[in-house]
Every structure is written in structure tokens, then in C-alpha cells.
Amino acid sequence: MRSLFSRLTFAAVAGALAASSALATPTFASEEAVVIPAPATDAQAADGIQTAVIAGGCFWGVQGVYQHTGGVVSAVSGYSGGSKANANYNAVSSGSTGHAEAVEIKYDPKQISYGKILQIYFSVAHDPTQLNRQGPDTGTQYRSEIFATTPEQKKVAEAYIAQLNAAKVYKKPIVTKLGMLQAFYPAEAYHQDYLTLHPNQPYIVYNDLPKIENLKKIFAGNFIEKPTLVNAAKATN
């Protein structure tokens, strides 16, 4: 389990360690991104805004990645896999609710495909070979999971996982779970836009900002400098 308190404790400790040595140079705890092939099978472009829901560790960083991805009209942090009754941060942090910290992505398929969203997910958003953890965060709430919103999405994701495993692009097998979405529950307001609002917090600096840099480097054609924020979207609706 990693509560908000323990995340902030991690940030404080990391900051103290960095400040304790005048010779210290910035280092990042997040894993190096893996350059992977695009999916051989992709979803057909449809009219209207589509929805994808994914989980891959702390939702702060995953949300931040897709807020910097062109064609994404919103990326909201939340919970999937459990019931509405326990879809709150304190309960989910116990690791006993069935929920994963997830991100709901609304995207324009005329600008970005579902396959590209998955390619970014498997390459820079998280490490799909870590079971029930990502970096410093451990527990089933930090699992790697794709919550397909359509049967076509499920087929595309299944085929892509098989493709990546066959190509042996990772040193270990992919452990990403895959199933149909039952429900998505938005997280509390203080979790939204967290990466943008707290760019100097050591947890963000060590674990999440490298993901944004990797997105910019590896997916330059999909990267947008100005993030698409939840609060900004609410202000225009």
C-alpha cells in the first residue's frame, strides 16, 4: 500500500537526500522507456469521441502522459475494478477494494488511434512487466490493466500484447491484465492535473516527469507542449 502520506514522505526523503550532497546530480527512479513497434492490428477509426481506460501505477504520471498527447480531449484520474461504494482514495489505498488507479482517456480517433494510445501506454506510461507495482508503489491498486470499452478494443489489446511478447521487446513477460470495463469512477479533485500543478515535487520529478520527456522524445509527432487539463475542460463546459 502507498497512501498519499507515504507518497509525500517519499518526496520529502528524496528531496532531503538530494540536498544532502553538494555533488549530487539529478537521477530518476522511473524505468527507461522501451521503443516498441506499433500494433499490427488497430481499431477502425470511428466518428465521435471515443473512450479508453487504462491502469499502470500511480495515476498522476499516467494522466500527465496523456494530457500531453495530441488527439486526447480529456484524461481523468480515477478508479476501476471495484464498486462505487469504495471508489475513494483512502479505501483504494488499502489494496483490498479490487480497484486500480486508472485513467479515463477521451480521444478523437481522427487524430489518434486506440492502437497508438496503447503503444504509448506500453512504451512510456508504465512498465507492463511489473506485477502489482510500478516503481516505488506496490499493491494491486497499482497493477497494469486495460479496461476495454468495446469488444474491438479488447481484440486490439489482446493482439498487441501477443505481438509484443512474441517480439520479445521486454526482458520479462507482459503481466498486463485485460478485461471489459465495468465502471470508471473519477478520483477526488486534488488528484486531477497533479503532475502539472506539482512539477517540483520530488515524487513527480523522480517518477513522472521522465515519462513526459520520453513521450516528447519517442512520440514527437504525438506530443503537445501545453497539457489538456481537467480543470480547464470543466471551465469551458
CATH number of the domain residue 89 falls in: 3.30.1060.10
- pLDDT of 173-225, one tens digit each? 999 999 999 999 999 999 999 999 999 999 999 999 999 999 999 999 999 99
Which residue in 206, 179, 203, 184 sits closest to 92, CA to CA? Answer: 184
Q: Give pLDDT, residue 46.
A: 86
* Cell of residue 92, nine digits: 483504494
CA 54 centroid distance within chain? 7
| Count of the separate structural domains present in the chain | 1
Q: Give pLDDT, residue 71.
A: 98
Catalytic annotation, pick one of 14, 43, 58, 205:
58
Structural domain contains residue 225: no
* Cell of residue 40, nine digits: 499490427
Structural domain contains residue 85: yes
User: What values do phi and psi take at 127, rounded to 5?
Assistant: -105, 110
Where the chain has pLDDT below 50, the residues are 1-2, 5, 10-29, 235-237
Q: Give pLDDT, residue 80.
A: 98
SS3 of residue 156 by DSSP:
helix
Structural domain contains residue 141: yes
Identity of the residue numbered 153: Q
Structural domain contains residue 224: no
Q: Are 147 and 113 in contact (CB under 8 A)?
A: no
DSSP string, 50-74: EEEEEEES-HHHHHHHHHTBTTEEE
Q: Give pLDDT, residue 33.
A: 86
Q: How much is the pTM?
A: 0.88
Give CA–CA dist 156/19, Å, rounded.
46
Domain that holds residue 190: 4-31+42-219
Q: Is 165 a catalytic residue?
A: no
| E strands present in the chain | 50-56, 72-80, 100-107, 133-134, 137-138, 144-148, 177-180, 185-186
Structural domain contains residue 9: yes
Q: Which residues contact 116 (CB under 8 A, 6 or more apart)?
A: 38, 42, 222
